Amino acid sequence: MAYAAITCLMRTIQQSIQLTGCNLQSFYEKFESLRAILEKHMGDLDALKSLEAEIIELVCTTEDILDLESRNVKNPISRIIAFWKLHSLLKQAVGRIDSTMNKWMEMQNMYTKRKDEEAHNLDLASTTSMSQHVVEPQDMMVGHENEFEIIMEDQLARGASELEVVSIVGMGGIGKTTLADKIYNDPFIMSHFDIRAKATVLQEYCAKKVLLSLLSSTNGKIDEHQDDGQLADRLQKSLKGRRYLVVIDDIWTEQAWDDIKLCFPDCNCGSRILLTTRNMEVAEYASSGKPPNQMRLLNVDESWKLLQREVFVKNCFSPEFEQLGKQIALKCGGLPLAIVVIAGLLSKIVEAFDQWTSVAENVSSAVSTDHNVQCMRVLALSYHHLPNHLRVCFLYFAMFPEDTVIFVNKLVKLWAAEGFLKVEMMKSIEEVAEKCVKDLIDRNLIFVHSEFFHKGSSDKYPIKAIQTPMFLPPLGTFPKNLKKLAFTGTRLHWEDLEILGKLPKLEALKLGYDACIGTDWEVGEEGFPHLKFLQLKHLYLHNWGASSDHFPRLERLVINRCWSMYSIPQDFVDITTLQLIHISDSAKSVGNSAKKIQQEIEDNYGSSVEIELEQYPTGAHIASRMLYTAENSFEDVNSKVVADFGCGCGTLGLAAGLLGAESVIGLDIDAESLEIAYANADELELDMDFMQCDISNLKWRGQIVETVVMNPPFGTRRKGADMDFLSSAMKLRYDVPQLYKFHKKKEVDIAVDLWRFVPQRKQERSL
């Protein structure tokens, strides 16, 4: 966004003034004026979008050079030249942006004039008479009262004394969570059940988080160091012998249910589990032999009632507004999420009949048979009516996984650090950020997460987006000077990437989970002529059609968790710049194709390409179990000197530090990994030492450390690499004296432990 780009440039100018003492205030004020124009004129014409892309590209380039020259001012030799360059650069930038803004204003004025003429021809009779039909707010859910009564009376309060699972199923945004929350907080439910607990599962399922959330609801003590088994045991004991209601919200898979269902004891007390899901198969799988409660879309009257409650109860409108509101409610397709988001938009344009008309015209195009697409389109419609400073704030939520709860005080710090917030007179940056949060709440785009709300901590209440924004600007409007791009969850079509190949400076492209949909990627004719780094991670790609002509400058190829991919295009043999192919957690055939490319390059060109077949990463769950066992079963961590061999980002070593190790040292051959590990230790406020070295050539001997933790490589890249790690660890633990000291003695007893490593037999593995 041009608005955010100019705001960041203004921040850089401020920093440059503080750093250099150079008088750049006039330029700062000029950019502030340009930003004010952008804030006022927010047309959505395609032509205006192309001009916005020009401004973004120019501003980003200016900011990069400004930052560089500001550093040069600190050098006494180049100071005068740097001062001159700073003034010259900003003067040129202002001139070019002025020219672009003039074009912007001309086109915007023409557009506004045409809209005014259209509005003048509309018959807006009785605009001064106000509607007397105002609805009082009601603490009730619209449209699902019958479902509420059936679940409450027939399925939860009555029925068998055995434990039963009651399922609610429906599309995203239809009101499953709202219904479950209302049931959970109903006074009758609170008195009927001895204990209540609630947890949200989420698509990226983590059993430990679910267990901790349920234990927190039951007022049990939380110990995050306990493993899943211990937490499940504690939860079961806290529920045993009591009539309980457990709400499991937004569960996605049968496996997730299988992982937690044994935690809920059946004591014949009439306990119930209320489960919500988008997946009918999951609902039927978990239900206790009864059909799931399937949520329906709202009918016309219910849709209007919900919109009326959200908009008209707070404001008085003339009859024509009410008539237009009924049209809008009808076009929302009966999806509560769509109605609530549109209501938030309408409540902010209370007197702009032409804008209401625009919403009525466009809302039908936002409705789709695909509920995910519908939610995104409705959000996009609301997004395009946001002020510029709120657009970038709302888009920031796309950084977090769906349904992530984030505390406002943390979000405020993140926004302040990003530098895109507009500084206001007599207000701190934190106050500006909190006002932006409130504005987004008022527009129904984010909401306060009441489950964790605590009165008295006004700056620390948790919020989350009503739906994670995942829409992108047109790919063709990306700034031409972009060097790096990363996509996650964007669900682009593979053919859309052809546009990215036209970016003249694009050198690095990362495609993460759900970045692209489809199983076949046939790279377009023009390819990616300037790309040097390509990462494919967690993609369901089967066939990749490409040649060396498509990636003529590719240097590094990283493939991670692409389990469905069959092979790397063999024509990559002819990419003369190729230096590295890194493959981890992917199909064996991908690794074989990489080795084949490596061999053919060596045979045909006499050069070499490095192939990295990475071992599985050390997940947090594995690390916690491993270190917890080492400490609680063998007392090998607390107050011990610990070494982490091949520490990577420091997962095992940091876990040892958290468990009270006296000192921890991480060793790794990769300098970049050590930098990440150091940053992780700093964030956790742990004292951990790091050393760059090759474990196989480690010169340490004797009992220098008391415990060694490691996740050794498989030995696929270099045979025996795994044994090198074990050998180095043994040399630190068992210091065998050199025998020449005893060559004159007839007999000497030396304490030696013998270790034998035996591969597991196939028969044993099958048991």
Residue 765 pLDDT > 50: no
Rounded Cα gap, residues 20 and 298, in angstroms: 62
Partners of residue 508 on adjacent β-strands: 484, 533
Per-residue three-class SS string for 653-718:
HHHHHHCCCCEEEEEECCHHHHHHHHHHHHHCCCCCEEEECCHHHCCCCCCCCCEEEECCCCCCCC
Rounded Cα gap, residues 345 and 349, in angstroms: 7
Residue 371 pLDDT > 50: no
Residue-wise burial string across 403-442, b where 16 or more C-beta atoms lie within 10 A, e elsewhere: beebbbbebbeebeeebbbbeeeeeebbebbbebbebbbe
Cβ-based burial of 96 (10 A; exposed 0-12, middle 13-18, buried ≥19): middle
Counting residues of the chain whose pLDDT is more than 90, the rounded percentage is: 10
Average pLDDT rounded to a whole number, residues 482-491: 81
Q: Which residue has the tokens 């063999």?
A: 570
Cβ atoms 549, 525 nearer than 8 A: no
The closest alpha carbon to 422, from 22, 51, 39, belongs to: 39
The closest alpha carbon to 131, from 355, 303, 321, 360, belongs to: 321
Q: For 668, phi and psi rounded to 5 degrees?
A: -155, 150
Structure confidence by residue, pLDDT tens digits, 49-71? 555 666 666 667 666 666 666 66
The closest alpha carbon to 101, from 28, 61, 51, belongs to: 51
Residue 554 pLDDT > 80: yes
Structure confidence by residue, pLDDT tens digits, 403-415? 567 777 788 888 8
Rounded Cα gap, residues 170 and 350, in angstroms: 33
pLDDT at 455: 37
Average pLDDT rounded to a whole number, residues 521-529: 91
Domain chopping of the chain, boundaries:
2-116, 145-294, 298-385, 386-469, 482-614, 620-738
Q: Which pLDDT band holds residue 758 (cuts at 50, 70, 90)? A: low
Which of 283-287, 568-572, 592-596 has the least mean pLDDT?
283-287
Cβ-based burial of 216 (10 A; exposed 0-12, middle 13-18, buried ≥19): middle
Partners of residue 756 on adjacent β-strands: none
Which of 515-529, 682-696, 706-720 has the least mean pLDDT?
706-720
What SS3 state is found at 482?
A: coil
C-alpha pair distances (Å), 191 with each of 163, 188, 194, 195, 564: 18, 5, 7, 9, 52
pLDDT at 464: 52
pLDDT at 352: 67
Q: Which residue has the tokens 């119930």?
A: 272
Residue 260 pLDDT > 90: no
Residues 6 or more apart in contact with residue 484 via CB below 8 angstroms: 506, 507, 508, 509, 510
Query: Is pLDDT larger for residue 593 or for residue 396?
Result: 593
Q: Which residue has the tokens 């048979």?
A: 369
Q: Could you give the maximum distance between any two Cα atoms of the chain, in Å?
A: 119
Query: Is pLDDT larger for residue 681 or for residue 491?
Result: 681
Q: Which pLDDT band holds residue 164 (cuts at 50, 70, 90)? A: confident
* Structure token pair of residue 249: 């919200």
pLDDT at 82: 62
C-alpha pair distances (Å), 157 with each of 169, 274, 378, 628: 20, 12, 38, 42
pLDDT at 375: 55
Rounded Cα gap, residues 508 and 484, in angstroms: 5
The highest-confidence range among 203-217, 218-232, 570-584, by mean pLDDT, is: 570-584
Look up the CATH number of domain 145-294. Answer: 3.40.50.300
**DSSP for residue 166:** E
Cβ atoms 555, 533 nearer than 8 A: yes
pLDDT at 134: 31
Rounded Cα gap, residues 608 and 461, in angstroms: 56
The highest-level CATH class for domain 386-469 is mainly alpha
Cβ atoms 181, 148 nearer than 8 A: no
Which of 109-118, 272-281, 479-488 has the least mean pLDDT?
109-118
Which of 24-28, 261-265, 520-524 has the least mean pLDDT?
24-28
Domain 620-738, CATH among 3.30.365.10, 3.40.50.300, 3.40.50.150, 3.40.50.620: 3.40.50.150
Residues 6 or more apart in contact with residue 657 via CB below 8 angstroms: 664, 681, 684, 686, 687, 688
pTM attached to this predicted model: 0.41
Same fold, 145-294 and 620-738: yes
Rounded Cα gap, residues 279 and 507, in angstroms: 41
pLDDT at 343: 75
Average pLDDT rounded to a whole number, residues 510-520: 85
Residue 2 pLDDT > 60: yes
Structure confidence by residue, pLDDT tens digits, 623-679? 788 888 888 888 889 999 999 988 877 889 999 999 999 999 998 877 767 877 888
End-to-end alpha carbon distance in the chain? 59
pLDDT at 516: 87
Written as one string, the DSSP assignment of 361-397 is HHHGGG--SSHHHHHHHHHHHHHTTS-HHHHHHHHGG
Which of 264-268, 369-373, 705-709, 729-733 has the least mean pLDDT?
369-373
Residue 501 pLDDT > 80: yes
When computed from its CA atoms, the radius of gyration of the chain, rounded to whole angstroms, is 31
Q: Which pLDDT band holds residue 544 (cuts at 50, 70, 90)? A: very high
Rounded Cα gap, residues 116 and 118, in angstroms: 5
Residue 682 pLDDT > 60: yes
pLDDT at 47: 47
Which amino acid type is present at position 312? Answer: F
Partners of residue 611 on adjacent β-strands: 581
**DSSP for residue 561:** S
Structure confidence by residue, pLDDT tens digits, 414-465? 887 777 776 665 677 788 888 888 878 766 567 665 444 443 344 555 565 5
To the question of domain 2-116 being in CATH 3.40.30.10, the answer is no
Which amino acid type is present at position 708? Answer: V
Residue 372 pLDDT > 70: no
Partners of residue 200 on adjacent β-strands: 249
Structure confidence by residue, pLDDT tens digits, 733-757? 665 544 444 445 556 665 655 566 5
Cβ atoms 14, 80 nearer than 8 A: no
Counting residues of the chain whose pLDDT is more than 70, the rounded percentage is: 62
